[in-house]
Structure 1
Amino acid sequence: MQNKLPKRDEVAKELTWRLEDIYDDESKWEAELSKVNEIADKMAAFQGKLSESAQTLLDFCKLNEELTLFLDRVYGYAHMREDQDTANSKYQGFHQRALSAYMGSAEKTAFMNPEVLDLSDEQLKDFFEKAPELGRYKVMIDEIRRLKDHMLNSEMEALLASAGEMQGASQKAYGMLSNADLKFPSVKDSKGEEVQLSDGRFVPTQMSKDRELRKNSFETYYAKYAEFKNTWAALYDGEIKGRIFEAKARKYNSAFEAAVDRNNVSPAVCDNLFESIHNNMDKMHRYVSLRKKLLGVDELHMYDVYVAMLPEFDMKVSYEEAKELSLKALAPLGEDYLAVVKESYENRWIDVIENEGKRGGAYSGGVYDVHPYMLLNYNDTLNDVFTLVHEMGHSMHTWYSNKAQTILDANYKIFVAEVASTTNEVLLYHYMKDNAKTKEEKAFIINHFLDSFKGTMFRQTMFEEFERKTCEMAEAGTPLTSEALYNVYLELNKQYFGEDMISDEQIGWEWCRIPHFYYNFYVYQYATSFAAAVAIADRILKEGAPAVEQYKKFLSSGCTQDPVSLLKIAGVDLTTKEPIDAALAVFGEAIDEMEKVVND
């Protein structure tokens, strides 16, 4: 890890994404931004007319598809430009203008859903018969009508749409504070050397074998977050109140019910997850005990969570090596799959390393009629290799859906969004474990898999419990003060990690740094997706071509069915607890295997 972050213009070109594939001249971005407003104005002229004739509805739907394409490019380009350097005022402006255009068009076209809902079943059937081209928009129309009980009249929908940009203010402010404005001091390692701390470097320092560096980094990092505890609490409170406002407006019983219904998923799926996790908490506590034993410490602290359990072994993987590993691990998915992966490497679909002001973490995004993009902050760790294949899974899901579906039908629901990414991770795990050269390397790989289970099945469920508990507190009228949020989080941490873990007081501030708490009940889907991915990867490795074919059909299906039904295509039924319990059984087996390897 470099001691100093490079500036954006100091990063090697081949390690940056080529956003010129979207706009090779930013005057085209300006022109298409104007086009967004023009199309939205044309659509606004249809207000009150969608029931007039099949042709009128078809003409409107065509404009809506065109608007979606332009918005996808305009917004996608702007937010990726800003993310590569969040302190760049020019692209801050681009992002703000694109967001305003998005919200403005939503406001101008807010009448669409109420008017589509006002159509009778007989009238709509007649429209489809008179204008067969409307079939192109059937999935979109059916989805609108599915939410009929929660749609408002045109005037109220327009009001809610206009409030959308305001409701996003908390998330935006959180992003600017955490990515652009929050600066961390340097910390000292055990040799007294200074190491620059940043959001992107926090986890790498926590993975260091230098326990003093881990401790200093942990305490300094969370002390900085705690300095702004009241600001973080106010931002989170604003986020939650926005959700509650919309849920009440749309006549839902709770904000959580509103969030899962948007994805066409039953709350029972999340409840099944909670029940299975709590019934298997002994496995998590067993993992923590194993970690304490292998690290050989008298007390296990929260700054001992990320470091490998095998302190005598290390594994660094360069980006070039990671690319080669990914191609070997993903080979079971076929040559057509690998061809696209290779194209992403050769044609700069990926922004690879951290630079000053760059957004932390990693994600896959992109533009429908161009190709997916991936943002990384690669630091040569084993975790970074898994992050690469994780984001590649997202991108391949997007690529397959975009190739098979229209832009309106390609946008798969969040509930299934983490399945392809995690399937890739499980395939990489099996490949690396099976090809490990020594028992130490094998144990190191199993260590990573165990940590992935801990971080995904357990940690994300803990996050979801925090989000649900605090939202329920707000719905009951309990103020979301920094102290209240701290206490809820610390208590959950103790429950999940068990008695062998010292839940250091600083960990109570971890909620401040989790961006996913601004994603409206997103995180439980990491856990359900992980369970589904374990099952899918197992089928691919055991059954071969038939399972791969079914999996690619799932990848290509976009949002053409509800998410739970889509997963059934790939052989997973999340209406039951069976996939979750089965995945947790695999976790227990991996602990057994780890104990065997290290004791041989």
Structure 2
Amino acid sequence: MENKILKREEVATELTWRLEDIYEDEKLWDEDVKTLSAKTDEFKSFEGKVSASAKNLLDALKLYEEIELLLSRIYGYAHMREDQDTGNSKYQSMKSKAFSAYVQAEEKRSFFNTELLAISDENLSSFYNEEKELENYRVTITEIRRLKDHILDAKTEQLLASAGEICGAPQQARGMLCNADLKFPSVKDSKGETVQLSNERFVPTQMSKDRALRETAFEAFYGRYEEFKNTWAALYDGEVKTRIFNSKARKYNSSFEAAVDSNNVSPLVCDSLFASIHDNMDKMHRYVTLRKKLLGVEELHMYDVYVSMIADYDMEVSYEEAKEISLKALDPLGEDYLAIVKEAYENRWIDVLENEGKRGGAYSSGVYGVHPYMLLNYTSTLDDVFTLVHEMGHSMHTWYSEHAHSVLDSSYKIFVAEVASTTNEVLLYHYMKDHAKSKEEKAFIINHFLESFKSTMFRQTMFEEFERKTCEMAENGEALTAEALSNVYYDLNKQYFGADMVSDDKIRWEWCRIPHFYYNFYVYQYATSFAAAVAIADKILKEGDSAVAQYKEFLKSGCTQDPVSLLKIAGVDLTTREPIDAALKVFGEAIDEMMILAS
């Protein structure tokens, strides 16, 4: 493992994203911020007039769409500039300015939903007849009117919009503490060599064959988080109280109900996930038992979770090799799909390597009218190859959706956001397993697939249970202290990993480092999406062109239907437990296959 973390200016240009595709000159960004302010002022002039005529409604929606386009470019550029170097004060300021512009735009547009709701069904029908262009905005109009019971009077909507910047403060502060301010100690491996820890380097240390390094890094890493335990608790408490405030203001029974309703999904989908996972917890415990056996340890600890169960085998995959593998794995999706993937590789849509101050993890971010971008922190592991195709899946979903629809109709709901990314991962798994050059390599790849199941189906559901439980605690008036939060997390960890895992005390602070706990009940959708992706990939590999055509229709659908209905286009019905149970059956079968290979 390279110990030196590059400075931003030391990273080769071809391995950085070309944000100049959004703004060639940052003066153009400043001009767009001014244009946005003028456009939102113009939009504000429609207040009290939206329902007066079909033309007023159409003109307001056209201007609304122009504002969305500007926001996509302004905020997209600013947040990616800051993410590439979170310690850069210039880009911190730029992102702050962009977020303020977003909040101000929301304030000035806040009256619109209330006035749209004031139009009777009869008058709206006549408006559609008078102004045929209104048909272009039917999806937007229908979605706003769906939430009629939770949209408030204009003054209250404006007040809630004004609070947006304050509501985002816990997440922003948590990001600054974690990515820019928090510094980690160096630790020694079993040979006495020094390894510098960071958020990005923690998981690679936990994947190391050096168990002494894994244990030392685990204790030091989470020990550092524990030092700030009361700060983490206060930040998370602020996040939860923000959700409760907004859900109560909008007349929901709970913050969870408010979150899933914004995606037009029933809470029963998540409840069904919980039921399936709990009924299949024996498979997770079998996996833990298998891991303990294959690692040959008397006690299995939490610092043994990431290391490959295949002790004498490893894979190092360069970024260039990863690109070649990805193109072969995604070949079943067709030449048109591959052509766009190649464009992403050739035209710098991707920021590849870790550098000092760079945001951790990985993501895909769309900028309407430009193209999607991807942030990686590539370190040449097998996991990095899967991350590459995962984020490419997000980007392809965005590309297909944006090329099929307007900025308003292209924004697919978060509930389906992980389907395309995970479908890519499953296709990659099958390709790499089928083309493994040895029994050991095949076992190593199955090990990764089992890890994906563990991390996505089980771990993300565990995360969701933590969010649900802690938000319910706060809704019931219980204090979210560091001790209370760590106890909830620790108990869930023991339940999910079972008797063959030693739940080390420091694992109770793992919740502090999970950014997704600030994403308002996002994580359960990883699990439902994973189940959907297993089904979709299976159809593509077995049925070929017909299944690919169905899948691409799903990719092109944006937000034109509710998410569960969109998945039915691709042949998956999440109104039942069947996709979840079927995916968990595949997990059990992969465990059986690994047992045979490792025997």
Normalising by structure 2, we get a TM-score of 1.00
Partners in 1 of 2:186 and 2:398 — Cα distance?
39
The Cα of 1:4 is off from its aligned counterpart by: 1.1
Deviations 1:170-228 (A, max 9, x none): 00000000000000011110001001100011101110001111111100000000000
1:595 maps to 595
Q: Structure 2: 5+ residue runs without aligned partners?
A: none
In angstroms, what is the RMSD of aligned CA positions?
Answer: 0.4
Deviations 1:151-174 (A, max 9, x none): 100000000000111000000000
SS of the counterpart of 1:221? helix
**Are 2:4 and 1:8 equivalent residues in the alignment?**
no
Deviations 1:242-299 (A, max 9, x none): 0000000000000000000000000000000000000000000000000000000000
**Are 2:368 and 1:373 equivalent residues in the alignment?**
no
1:60 maps to 60
Deviations 1:58-93 (A, max 9, x none): 010010000000110000000000000000000001
Partners in 2 of 1:13 and 1:483 — Cα distance?
46
Structure 1 residues 306-321: aligned runs within 5 Å? 306-321=306-321
2:327 maps to 327
SS of the counterpart of 1:453? helix
Partners in 1 of 2:366 and 2:131 — Cα distance?
33
The Cα of 1:597 is off from its aligned counterpart by: 1.1
Partners in 2 of 1:187 and 1:118 — Cα distance?
63
Partners in 2 of 1:276 and 1:82 — Cα distance?
40
Letter aligned with residue 43 of structure 1? F
2:555 maps to 555
1:267 maps to 267
SS of the counterpart of 2:374? strand
**Are 2:458 and 1:458 equivalent residues in the alignment?**
yes
The Cα of 1:55 is off from its aligned counterpart by: 0.4
Deviations 1:473-512 (A, max 9, x none): 0000000000000000000000000000000000000000
Partners in 2 of 1:32 and 1:216 — Cα distance?
50
2:216 maps to 216
Deviations 1:381-409 (A, max 9, x none): 00000000000000000000000000000
Deviations 1:116-154 (A, max 9, x none): 011100010011100000111110010000000001000
Partners in 1 of 2:74 and 2:164 — Cα distance?
18
1:347 maps to 347
**Are 2:232 and 1:232 equivalent residues in the alignment?**
yes
Partners in 2 of 1:212 and 1:358 — Cα distance?
28
2:99 maps to 99
The Cα of 1:366 is off from its aligned counterpart by: 2.7
2:31 maps to 31
Letter aligned with residue 484 of structure 2? A
SS of the counterpart of 1:410? coil
1:291 maps to 291
Deviations 1:542-581 (A, max 9, x none): 0000000000000000000000000000000000000000
SS of the counterpart of 1:195? strand
Partners in 2 of 1:381 and 1:447 — Cα distance?
13
The Cα of 1:336 is off from its aligned counterpart by: 0.2
Aligned residues: 599
SS of the counterpart of 2:379? coil
**Are 2:479 and 1:479 equivalent residues in the alignment?**
yes
Letter aligned with residue 90 of structure 1? K
SS of the counterpart of 1:94? helix
1:160 maps to 160
Deviations 1:347-376 (A, max 9, x none): 000000100000000000031100000000
Partners in 2 of 1:187 and 1:358 — Cα distance?
22
Partners in 2 of 1:199 and 1:266 — Cα distance?
35
The Cα of 1:311 is off from its aligned counterpart by: 1.0
Deviations 1:386-443 (A, max 9, x none): 0000000000000000000000000000000000000000000000000001000000
1:488 maps to 488
SS of the counterpart of 2:114? helix
Partners in 2 of 1:37 and 1:210 — Cα distance?
56
Partners in 1 of 2:14 and 2:195 — Cα distance?
27
Partners in 2 of 1:445 and 1:2 — Cα distance?
24
1:526 maps to 526
Partners in 2 of 1:592 and 1:260 — Cα distance?
36
Partners in 2 of 1:311 and 1:246 — Cα distance?
49
Partners in 1 of 2:324 and 2:524 — Cα distance?
32
Partners in 2 of 1:442 and 1:516 — Cα distance?
32
Partners in 2 of 1:75 and 1:22 — Cα distance?
11
SS of the counterpart of 2:416? helix
Letter aligned with residue 29 of structure 1? W
2:276 maps to 276
2:468 maps to 468
Partners in 2 of 1:497 and 1:585 — Cα distance?
18
Partners in 2 of 1:590 and 1:311 — Cα distance?
18
**Are 2:49 and 1:49 equivalent residues in the alignment?**
yes
Partners in 1 of 2:596 and 2:116 — Cα distance?
61
1:540 maps to 540
1:574 maps to 574
Partners in 1 of 2:366 and 2:555 — Cα distance?
16
Letter aligned with residue 399 of structure 1? W
Partners in 1 of 2:225 and 2:116 — Cα distance?
47
